[in-house]
Structure 1
Amino acid sequence: MVKIIKNTTIMTLIAMVLGAIFGIVFGETMGQFKFIGTIWLDCIKMIIIPLVLCMMITAIADQEDAISLGRISIRTLIYYLITTVLAAIIGIAVALLIKPGLGVSLEGLTAVEIQNPDELTIQSIITGLFSNNMFGSFSSGNVIQTLVIAIFLGIAILKMNNKENKEVVLKWFRSINDMISLYITMIIKLAPIGVFFLMADTFGLYGLSIFTSVAGFIGTFWVGIILLMLIVYGGSLWIFAKMNIFTFLKKSTPVWMFTLASCSSSASVPVVIKSAKEAFNIPDRIAKFGLTLGSQINSGGSAILYPAVLIYISQLYGMTFDLGTFIQMVIVATLLCTASGGVPGGGIVLMLVIVETFGMPVEVVGIIAGFYRFIDMGTTTSNVLGDLVGTICVSKWEERTLAKVKTEEIVEQA
């Protein structure tokens, strides 16, 4: 019993189950205690900006040289891009096969008002990646701008010629990293308490109302998430690491339990980095780089959601799409998922944007938004696990490349 109590992972799983039960039994009363879970989550979020800054800077500066950095960067970006495209295709396929919108009536369901950002274009999204005041970006909690700042500063440190000065700068950032890691370890030990109240609030708010007409769409979405995990992520792990997807899920249990409860990709960064290094033996320089970058640009779960929403709405209103439109869905969904990490409002806002882009009725988005927590659990979990899978694959890829280079050097010397 003592071992179970000391095992944060097991206690967090128990807290999730108990939280769901308490939420269903006591209903919205549990919402009065949500602030306890919110405080726990805020204690993690408050450290995200310095964490992203320090981890990305040290991850880049610790690379052997600019060539190594470029190789890892390109491989990481290629992997994330390919899996995002495949996720969008899965989203279209499951929606077409299951047809969640046929014969469904949404009458009587309340729509949530969504604030649409002004002039959200590709140009504004790209411009929003860059900061004109880095301290302003830090104070406003803009993670994507912080990430870009960290990349530039990391490259600058990597290219410093004065080794003594370079080591002084890096030593400072590494020291901050150590402090952040200890802080995160302290907060994660409180996870069972925070998770219990967050899950209790979620199920207390929705209860059994999830089993409504929207359930078909949510179920379809989760089928897509499962297929993404089994086919895309499972296939990647087998090809690059000879690892079974179920072995991966077992080893990454602390990660997906955290994401199911928190629904925050940024807040999960320290948890997933810890898992990457301890459970999968990924080198520190690759783990920090791939996972920090992935938390902002890799969104396989979201790529399933956006085209699935379009097809769901089309089925509700009896619309049909041609092949060209499906291709456009994949392209737009991929762009939104890889370039919109700094858009306020996250998934709900982007769901509205893609529906408006294709000129479809936006009222349904408001109704879906009322149940978004159950969708967000899936998008966040698959996004973060996708980051971890991608980092494992890139790590193995890099390992083989370095082994090949070393072998060639031995042959040349002989």
Structure 2
Amino acid sequence: MVALASDASVGARRATPLHKILYVQVLAAIVLGALLGWLAPQWATNEWVKALGDGFVKLIKMVIAPVIFCTVVSGIAHISDARKVGRVAVKALVYFEIVSTFALAIGLVVGNVLRPGAGFSGKVDAAATAEFAKQASAKHAVDFVLDIIPDSVVGAFARGDVLQVLLFSILFGFALMALGERGRSLVALVDDLTHGVFGVINLVMRAAPFGAFGAMAFTVGKYGPAALGNLLSLIGSFYLSAALFVVVVLGVIARIAGFSIFRFLNYIKAELLIVLGTSSSESALPALMEKLERLGCSKPVVGLVVPTGYSFNLDGTNIYMTLATLFIAQALGVDLTLEQQFTILIVAMLTSKGASGVTGAGFVTLAATLGSVSPALVPGMAIVLGIDKFMSECRALTNIIGNGVATVVVAWWENELDRDRLAATLGGGAKKPDLDAGAATR
């Protein structure tokens, strides 16, 4: 078992030497990677260094589809009431839409108050973003709905399409539920397969420090401090917006649900460092699901909320889209009315759906948002193209935090949260709220 499992108890953490703890290894790798990229960019941009980061992300993506399938199928098959699955899904979607609106609104407020794009004097290269605009314009709402349905089950697993795998897993889980006793042996097989898949994840996570080192070294070596230039104001505004969202919005939600956002962040610190190093929230998805179950969330809730959240609850991407849209408009000297800004909020709410945790997905959704609000803003994407990589880490971090909190909240809402385990795992930060008094736990 890797050091990730050492977070299971305080005693285990005390007994494990620092250099064997996963998050310490990843943190050291990130620092060393950044130093290599800064001091020796010619070495950091070597294709083999880049391959370390890309290889680790591919290893994680390799097991995402099996993890989702096993977790969702097992979770649903163990539920006797089909209405309960639908209830969890509806509650999750309601939560996603409400919280996403707050994320979009924070981006608009910070963009209007700080005005990071005002006075921009750089040049715009429209050709640099032509491909992103083309990808965005090619997608319509009906395409998104149809894309949820895979051409084949094998194809969905081969591509690792989260929504397509999730759809098939839900249908398969309901089918096993309907079989009753005849399907028990198959359910037991899926349960055993789940343990095997998470065993593979434990092995893969040993490579996390190497992946973080390679990804961070290549990023810093390729772009460097000079790439930031006078665009630091946008980066600072974005990180400030994300911090406000996590501490204020998610912090209040967490407190209502009876736990501390800061203790929760400390609990998933290893996953956050992996996301920071790889710029992809998918790189920590399997480990996050395992940790949420150990935190006290029931398997059905984890299996439904986390995968769905990766397409419907991208809080970091939402903040990025509204803030970047305002930045581009300010940089191009385009004054947006309140009505147009409200349109941005509505359009961004739609275009963000289906954006995965893969690096760069937020940039394509930005193109779709700009094109819907005003085609004249699309060439302005070139302004932020050079620094998008520096903001993708923050997008991914905010996304994974948001999905983690969402899972705990939906589990609490559905009375599928083990309060005693939550309190024992997070220490003194978990208290049972009055709203949940007397509710049964899992």
State the TM-score, normalized to the length of structure 1.
0.90
Deviates more, 1:133-142 or 1:230-239: 133-142
Distance 1:82 1:7, change over 3 A: same
Deviates more, 1:333-342 or 1:292-301: 333-342
2:166 match: 147
2:251 match: 234
Distance 1:320 1:42, change over 3 A: same
1:53 match: 69
1:130 match: 149
* Equivalence map 1:150-229=2 (5 Å): 150-160=169-179, 162-163=180-181, 165-229=182-246
Contact 1:54 1:173 in 2 (8 A): yes
The alignment status of 1:386 with 2:402, answered yes or no, reads yes
1:23 match: 37
Cα deviation, 1:102-125, whole Å, max 9, x if unaligned, reads: 111223889744342253111111
2:78 match: 62
Residue 405 (structure 1) shift = 11
Contact 1:23 1:200 in 2 (8 A): yes
Aligned to 2:415, the other structure's residue is in SS state: helix
1:412 match: none
Distance in 2 (alpha carbons) for counterparts of 1:41 and 1:159: 37
2:423 match: none
Contact 1:23 1:204 in 2 (8 A): yes
Distance in 2 (alpha carbons) for counterparts of 1:197 and 1:12: 11
2:28 match: 14
Distance in 1 (alpha carbons) for counterparts of 2:439 and 2:114: 52
Number of equivalenced pairs: 405
Distance 1:405 1:67, change over 3 A: farther
Deviates more, 1:176-185 or 1:342-351: 342-351
Distance 1:59 1:95, change over 3 A: same
Distance in 2 (alpha carbons) for counterparts of 1:405 and 1:321: 44
Distance in 2 (alpha carbons) for counterparts of 1:266 and 1:381: 10
The alignment status of 1:302 with 2:317, answered yes or no, reads yes
* Equivalence map 1:15-414=2 (5 Å): 15-32=29-46, 33-107=49-123, 112-113=128-129, 114-115=131-132, 116-117=134-135, 119-160=138-179, 162-163=180-181, 165-241=182-258, 243-278=259-294, 280-341=295-356, 346-359=361-374, 360-399=376-415
Deviates more, 1:114-123 or 1:248-257: 114-123
Distance 1:405 1:345, change over 3 A: closer
Distance 1:203 1:57, change over 3 A: same
The alignment's C-alpha RMSD in Å is: 2.7
Contact 2:297 2:417 in 1 (8 A): no
Residue 214 (structure 1) shift = 2.0
Distance in 2 (alpha carbons) for counterparts of 1:188 and 1:348: 28
Contact 2:310 2:357 in 1 (8 A): no
The one-letter amino acid of 1:192's match is P
Cα deviation, 1:345-394, whole Å, max 9, x if unaligned, reads: 62111111111111233222133222222111011111111000011111
Distance in 1 (alpha carbons) for counterparts of 2:59 and 2:174: 30
Residue 236 (structure 1) shift = 0.6
Which sections of structure 1, spanning at least 5 residues, go unmatched? 410-414
Distance in 2 (alpha carbons) for counterparts of 1:86 and 1:332: 14
The one-letter amino acid of 1:182's match is G
Cα deviation, 1:310-346, whole Å, max 9, x if unaligned, reads: 2112111222222222222111111122345499962
- Of all paired residues, the percent bearing the same amino acid is 24
Residue 177 (structure 1) shift = 1.2
Cα deviation, 1:265-307, whole Å, max 9, x if unaligned, reads: 33321121122133x3222222222212212221001111111
Distance 1:331 1:46, change over 3 A: same
Aligned to 1:338, the other structure's residue is in SS state: coil
The one-letter amino acid of 2:54's match is T
Distance in 2 (alpha carbons) for counterparts of 1:31 and 1:149: 40
Cα deviation, 1:1-46, whole Å, max 9, x if unaligned, reads: 9711211111111111121111111114212111122222211111
Contact 1:112 1:370 in 2 (8 A): no
Contact 2:103 2:316 in 1 (8 A): yes
The one-letter amino acid of 1:189's match is R
The one-letter amino acid of 1:195's match is A
Distance 1:15 1:406, change over 3 A: closer
Aligned to 1:144, the other structure's residue is in SS state: helix
Contact 1:15 1:196 in 2 (8 A): yes
Contact 2:317 2:362 in 1 (8 A): yes
Contact 2:348 2:369 in 1 (8 A): yes
